[in-house]
Every structure is written in C-alpha cells, then in structure tokens.
Amino acid sequence: MKRWQGKRFEGELIDYDNILIYGAGEAGQELMKGLSNSHKYSVVAFVDDDRQLTGAHIMGKKIYHTDNLLDIVNTLDIAQVFLAVPSISRARKRKIIEKLSHISIKIKELPSLKELADEKVTVSHMRKIDILDVLDRQTVEPDEELLKKNIAHKSVLVTGAGGSIGSELCRQIIKNKPTCLVLYELSEFALYSIHQELLAKQASSNEYQDIQIVSIIGNVTDEHNLMRIFQTYHVQTVYHAAAYKHVPMVEHNPFQGVINNTRGTYHCARAAIQTDVETFVLISTDKAVRPTNVMGATKRLAELVCQALSHEATSIKPDSKTCISMVRFGNVLGSSGSVVPVFTKQIEQGLPITVTHPDVTRYFMTIPEAANLVIQAGAMAQGGEVFVLNMGEPVKIVDLAQRMIHLSGHEVKDDKHPNGDIEIVFTGLRPGEKLYEELIIGDDNVEETAHPLIMQAMEHRFSLTDLERVLEKLPEKSQLYDVIWLKLQFKHFVDGYKEDTTVHS
C-alpha cells in the first residue's frame, strides 16, 4: 500500500495515506470535515457522477468525474478510496469495486442511511467493504409473514445454538418475538457465548423483555432428554442445526460423524413427533448431493431419515401432526471453516493465501441471509419437503482470493507480478473435497416455490424400516470400527456417493 511521509503532527513527521472521497454530496462533505484534522489521512480530491460538480472544489479539494477514476487514482497516488454515498445500491457499488479491482488499493465505505440514522458522519463510521459486495448475488426482501409464522408467540428450540448458523437463527428468532427460546448445544463455551449475547440484547431493549431464554447443554442423540425438554418448555418449533460439518474431520472420524449427524437427527425428529412439536426443520448442506465425503453422506442420510419420518410419523404417534422439512444450502460466508475468515487472517498477517485447487468453486451466501431463508422455507412446508436455497452462481475460490487481496490494498504476487505482496499457493484437494458442489441430485427434479430464492427438490426416499435397521446397528459397528460396512450403507442409500480412496481409516 502507498504510504507517504511528510505530514506533521505534534512536531513529528508521520506517515499518511492519500485519500480519494467517492461522493461529493452531504455525506462526502461531512466526511471531509471529519478528516481535516486527521494525522493518518490526507484527502486530495473527490469524484462524483454528477457532471455539474466536475471542476468545483470542497474545502480546496477538486471534484473530478468518475469517468476518470483510474487515472485519478494513479495520477494522485491514491492509497485508499472512501465511498461516501450511503444511499448507494449494491449493484452500483459492485461496479465501482470491479473498476478498481485490478489495482492495489484499499476501499472503505460508509454504512447505509438506515444504519447511520441521524448520526453525523465521521471517519469512525468508515468500514471495510462487505465481501458480499464482490459476489454477484441476488437478494430479495424477506416475507415478514413467513418469518413470524413459526416463531411469533411460540416456544422455539434451536439445536447447535452456538454454531455459526444456529447462533444466527437465534438472533433472528428473538427479533420475531417468541414466548420462549431454548438454546440446545453440546459445547458449554459456545452456549455461554450466544446466551450472553442474547441476554445483552434483551437488556438493551424493552421489546425482548418478555422472552424466556433458556440454555441447555445436551447431545442430540439423547432422545429422552430432548423429549423432557420439549415437554417442559412446550416447544412448538425446532430448528435442527447441530452437526459435525468439517469435511476432513468427519472423514477421519466417520462413526462420530454418522452418529451425530444422522442418528442425532433421527432421535431429535422422533422426540419432536412424540411431544407434538408443530414444526421441525433440518438444516442441511449442498455437500449431501452426490457426496465424495463422509460428512456429505451423513447429511444426506439425515435428509432421508427426515423424509421417512415425515411420511411415516403415524407409526411413532398415531395422531402426529408434526411438519418435518429440510433446507439445503451451500457455504456461508464467515462460518467456522469458511475460506473468507481464513483468507482475511492470512492477508492481515502477510502470509500466502492457501487455495486447494485452481479450479475449485463454491456457492456462497451470508450467514444472516441463509438463516433468514431457512426460517422462511420452514414456514412454507407442508411436510417432507427438501427445500433448496438459490445460491446464485458458483464462485471460483481463486478469484475470490484475488479480489480480497486487491480490496485490502495489496497486489497478488505471481509470475506476472514477482514483486507483489501476497502469493496464492495451491495445496491440493483435502480428503473428501470436491472441485465443485451441487444443490440438487437430479437434473430435472427441482420445482419453483412462491419465493424466488427457495426451490423444492423432488427426490427419492427410503422406508423408515430400512433406515432404522442401519441406525440400530451403528453402536455395534462403531465399537468394531467397521468402516467398510458403513461405506457400503452410504453406497446403498446415498445416490451418487463416491468413496475417497485417499483416506485410510
């Protein structure tokens, strides 16, 4: 990044960054005032789309037209661009980022008008660009009725409440004002963290004072404990997010993976049926589609278990009315194990960015968007559906890495740029990892729903009896560590499962 010496602060020469403010409106002018006494930044110019402003000055700094953006950045030795257009659309912001993406320059932005409210604009408001702004994703305003349907004035339980998706579900659930929110989690620390966060939110607003928030340490394989909790707190809606999800970890611990992910789902859903829970939603993954890894196979088996229980719930409870559905989606930005926080840390430390393969692609969605759509999809269910979230176009991971390097103000180090700052190193596919993920098992078995970002997959199911035979044998086969038997079950039940032969169990 460009740094300049020569700005005097309290008698000393200090380094500073040349700043270009994008937007010469009220927010840009307020930002300029806030930066005028800064010893870290030196505003050298403005750019704006309005041709009538071209050539004018603000506090002695010239306004240029955005047509000349790249020339201005290079000519004036700009180190950072500050976007001071709070009303800017995501599409327009993406175009600006794209225009600057091939040069090493840091870009920061002001929050939206909604977030700023009536606050006076200051440099402290400047923040890093949201990674979603470099991904071409369609977003849709949520349906408030769907968000409230299974939550408002109801008792709701989230398994895996301390995880990335589980905790975000809790944040969004509390906004929709349940009577009770039960956090069910195996990790004491993760449970404590989300519980404290929700209690702080509750204390800061009168809106949430009447919500009972309960923390329970528990395992999803403990059906009797789940039944007791469902009955004690009169649970009406369950979001089952608890799962082991890290592909290499589950690949090397296959029985722990299938017992937690598949058998745990079975016990959790059975407990829901037996205690008259109204709605049960399984959080699934695109890795369940034609999996090449154990984790994906365990999640597909969990889907099959839910489909079977939905169609045969009366065999467990003759008058069952529990509505069971599944929601399948791809990678979420910022979750544990996601490439984005890994890349961010590597960039901050000046380390090479590690990408498994030049051609690897993934679907991406933000955690809040995924949780929001899970709630809406679950509210659309009639029973037995596999909902699939529209993840947009798959993203090439190496392209994402390059964009993140550029957004941080650095240059990619490669054969063309041997003096660049950060290198991208290819480490090879991990055990069980695929080059690309899929969201549906067949080519023509997906139907649209009333929601543009929620589809429904029409997929083959097995009888509950067939699946229960396998689940009953798991403890014995786990004791024997009979991985050959386990993978034979995957091949029988999981369409398209291909064993990764590089893993020696």
365, 395 Cβ separation under 8 angstroms: no
Low-confidence ranges of the chain (pLDDT < 70): 1-15, 113-122, 132, 134, 136-138, 334-337, 439-444, 501-505
Angle between helices 367-380 and 164-175 (to 10 degrees): 70
Q: Where are the domains of the chain?
A: 4-129, 144-493
Rounded CA gap, 460 and 182, in Å?
33
pLDDT of residue 114: 62
Alpha helix locations (H) across 60-210?
69-75, 90-100, 113-116, 144-149, 164-175, 188-204
- What's 408's DSSP letter? B
The C-alpha atoms of residue 7 and residue 12 are separated, in whole angstroms, by 8
The per-residue pLDDT for 333 is: 75
pLDDT for res 505: 40
- Evaluate whether the domain defined by 144-493 bears CATH number 3.40.50.720: yes
Structure confidence at residue 164 (pLDDT): 92
pLDDT for 502 equals 54
Task: Report pLDDT for 119.
Answer: 63
- Work out the angle at residue 167's Cα, subtended by the Cα atoms of residues 163 and 170, and round it to the nearest 5 degrees: 150
Provide the pLDDT for residue 443: 58
Half-sphere exposure for 182 (CA within 13 Å, toward CB): 23
For the annotated catalytic residues, the residue numbers are: 287
Q: What is the CA radius of gyration of the chain?
A: 26
Domain spanning 4-129: CATH superfamily: NAD(P)-binding Rossmann-like Domain (3.40.50.720)
Token pair for 494: 């999981």
> Which residue shows structure tokens 């997959």?
457
Give CA–CA dist 265/17, Å, rounded: 54
Domain pair 4-129 / 144-493, same fold: yes
Answer yes or no: are the C-beta atoms of 27 and 121 closer than 8 Å.
yes
- Nearest of 442, 402, 407 to residue 424 by alpha carbon: 402
> How much of the chain is helix, strand and coil, in % rounded to 5?
40, 20, 35
